[in-house]
């Protein structure tokens, strides 16, 4: 069966997390992704946070599946010759270097566009034009500057970064969507174009409801927030739901000694109120004027979730989930990373996948988060450093005999 992006060649200049996750999605969709890496060490994540000595780290392997690796010294003349030829024969080039790196290498957008007017040149930076333009960025810097950290955590505690890598992997998804849109437009115009995203822009997009609430503040306190007092900015609101239906995390019966994740998140939709109160054995609250309508409940949400917790604490999170789900109450157990990696259902869904690696043996990775009925994903291992150098040079660049040795001797590959 064909793949959605079959025939699309991607020159992957990305490193660390944000860029590689984007190009991994392109590869999952069938694009031929050629990862360009510095000879010797390659992507810095190959050797970061290693769990096993001398083999590519999980940090690297889980972000670079389904790609081919070509080592190329971009600071050598020969390396640049090869790179230019690659650009001529490719559809997309993606990079997430620090500000100005591509220009310093001699590959500005103008030059890339001149080399191949059909190529799509996608860049991810920390920040867009303006005061922060020249600053480098990592995940939590993006969360700090895009509105996520100031709105995450509890009112009386410090700003908190989420465990979900919304700045890196989250923005990889934004960039993936933008590249696909540019590829589609090219089918109509025949032209490539420049695609740019900043990590902060992506976080801001994900903080849309907080910017909504910032504007609502002008008209009074945010009634659905658990906070008692409001200043002139959106406060941290713990586990309150960001949507129109109130929700909260409540404790359950621990099944392990520590019970750190013995919690369930419960949302109270107006039409499940009655069934929920019957279920937890508090039918007298159904018609109580302090609780009977969604508006009446808003100032009492903490009391209501305390009452619900009196019920959940006597059940494990899965028992509570089953019972609440049986009456259509939206809820979800708080699952640990251990819960997730051991979840047989996630494996059956193709979301946790085991992959064979020649140096580290079997490792588990996260599969493609979406499915296309005409483009099945086969998750493959990440490449070893320079594993496909010879193959790519011979196949794509028609190099002559002896050329590979010359490039290698010059330190270019
Ligand atoms: N051959 C030769 N040199 C190469 C090369 C190759 N194949 N690939 C990269 N390099 C060089 C670049 O030319 C550059 O050198 P100069 O600084 O001399 O121009 C250098 O390696 C990379 O520079 P950098 O600024 O990208 O790297 P850094 O480690 O100092 O910073 C990071 C890393 C992530 C902070 C920065 O790349 C960045 O801000 N990127 C944009 C935002 C981003 O993606 N952050 C997410 C990271 S995931 O948490």
Q: Residue 44 CA: which ligand 1 atom is closest?
A: 29
Question: 357: which DSSP letter?
Answer: E
Query: Does residue 283 sit in helix, strand or coil?
Result: helix
Ligand 1 pocket test: which of 34, 42, 62, 97 has the largest number of ligand atoms within 8 Å of its C-beta?
97
- Whole-number Å distance, alpha carbon 42 to ligand 1 midpoint, is 11
Q: What is the pLDDT of residues 316-334, one digit of tens each?
A: 999 999 999 999 999 999 9
* CA 77/CA 180 separation, integer angstroms: 32
* CA 67/CA 381 separation, integer angstroms: 8
Which residues does 311 contact at the CB level (< 8 Å), separation at least 6? Answer: 279, 280, 281, 320
- Whole-number Å distance, alpha carbon 13 to ligand 1 midpoint, is 10
On whether the CB atoms of residues 86 and 158 are closer than 8 A, the answer is: no
Place of tokens 């941290």: 236
Give backbone dihedrals phi and psi of 70, rounded to 5 degrees, phi first.
-125, 120
Count CB neighbours of 153 within 10 A.
Answer: 17
* CA 396/CA 151 separation, integer angstroms: 49
The protein residue whose alpha carbon is closest to atom 44 in ligand 1 is 96
Q: What is the pLDDT of residues 55-84, one digit of tens each?
A: 999 999 999 999 999 999 999 999 999 999
SS3 per residue for 286-307: CCCCCCCCHHHHHHHHHHHHHH
Pocket of ligand 1 (CB under 6 A): 16-19, 36-38, 72-75, 96-98, 101, 104-105, 124-126, 136-139, 168, 199
Q: Mean pLDDT of all residues in the chain?
A: 96
Which pLDDT band, with edges at 50, 70 and 90, does 97 fall under?
very high
> Cα 352 vs. chain centroid, distance in angstroms?
15
On whether the CB atoms of residues 42 and 384 are closer than 8 A, the answer is: no
Q: Provide the annotated active-site residues.
A: 168
pLDDT at site 196: 98
- Whole-number Å distance, alpha carbon 110 to ligand 1 midpoint, is 20
The protein residue whose alpha carbon is closest to atom 46 in ligand 1 is 138
pTM for the full predicted model? 0.96
In DSSP terms, 70 is beta-bridged to 36
Question: 43: which DSSP letter?
Answer: S
* CA 166/CA 352 separation, integer angstroms: 19
- Whole-number Å distance, alpha carbon 175 to ligand 1 midpoint, is 18
Ligand 1 pocket test: which of 11, 16, 19, 98 has the largest number of ligand atoms within 8 Å of its C-beta?
98
The protein residue whose alpha carbon is closest to atom 48 in ligand 1 is 17
Q: Return the percentage of the chain with pLDDT > 70, whole number.
A: 100
Give backbone dihedrals phi and psi of 358, rounded to 5 degrees, phi first.
-65, -25
First to last CA, the chain: 34
Which pLDDT band, with edges at 50, 70 and 90, does 399 fall under?
confident
On whether the CB atoms of residues 396 and 91 are closer than 8 A, the answer is: no
């Amino acid at each position: 069966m064909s793949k959605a992006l079959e025939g699309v060649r991607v020159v992957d200049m990305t490193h660390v997390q944000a860029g590689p996750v984007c190009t991994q999605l392109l590869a999952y969709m069938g694009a031929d992704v050629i990862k360009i890496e510095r000879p010797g060490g390659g992507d810095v994540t190959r050797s970061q946070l290693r769990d096993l000595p001398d083999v590519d780290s999980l940090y690297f392997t889980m972000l670079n599946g389904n790609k081919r690796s070509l080592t190329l010294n971009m600071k050598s003349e020969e390396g640049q010759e090869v790179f230019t030829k690659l650009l001529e024969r490719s559809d997309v080039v993606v990079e997430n270097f620090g500000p100005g790196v591509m220009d310093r290498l001699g590959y500005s957008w103008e030059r890339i566009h001149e080399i191949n007017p059909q190529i799509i040149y996608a860049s991810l930076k920390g920040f867009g034009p303006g005061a922060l333009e020249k600053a480098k960025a990592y995940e939590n810097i993006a969360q700090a500057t895009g509105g996520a950290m100031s709105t995450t955590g509890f009112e009386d505690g410090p700003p908190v970064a989420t465990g979900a890598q919304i700045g890196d992997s989250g923005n990889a998804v934004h960039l993936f969507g933008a590249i696909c849109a540019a590829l589609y437009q090219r089918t109509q115009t025949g032209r490539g174009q420049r695609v740019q995203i900043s990590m902060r822009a992506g976080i801001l997009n994900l903080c849309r409801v907080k910017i909504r609430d910032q504007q609502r503040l002008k008209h009074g306190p945010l009634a659905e927030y658990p906070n008692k007092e409001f200043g002139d900015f959106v406060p941290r609101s713990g586990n309150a739901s960001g949507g129109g239906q109130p929700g909260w995390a409540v404790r359950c019966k621990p099944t392990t000694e520590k019970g750190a994740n013995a919690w369930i998140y419960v949302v109270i939709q107006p039409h499940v109120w009655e069934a929920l109160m019957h279920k937890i054995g508090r039918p007298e609250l159904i018609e109580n004027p302090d609780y009977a309508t969604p508006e009446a409940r808003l100032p009492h949400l903490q009391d209501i979730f305390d009452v619900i917790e009196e019920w959940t604490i006597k059940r494990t999170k899965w028992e509570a989930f089953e019972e609440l789900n049986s009456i259509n109450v939206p809820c979800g157990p708080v699952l640990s990373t251990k819960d997730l990696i051991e979840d047989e259902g996630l494996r059956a869904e193709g979301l946790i996948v085991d992959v064979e690696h020649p140096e580290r043996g079997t490792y588990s990775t996260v599969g493609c988060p979406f499915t296309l009925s005409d483009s099945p994903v086969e998750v493959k291992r990440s490449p070893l450093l320079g594993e496909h150098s010879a193959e790519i040079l011979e196949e794509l660049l028609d190099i002559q005999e002896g050329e590979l040795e010359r490039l290698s001797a010059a330190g270019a590959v």
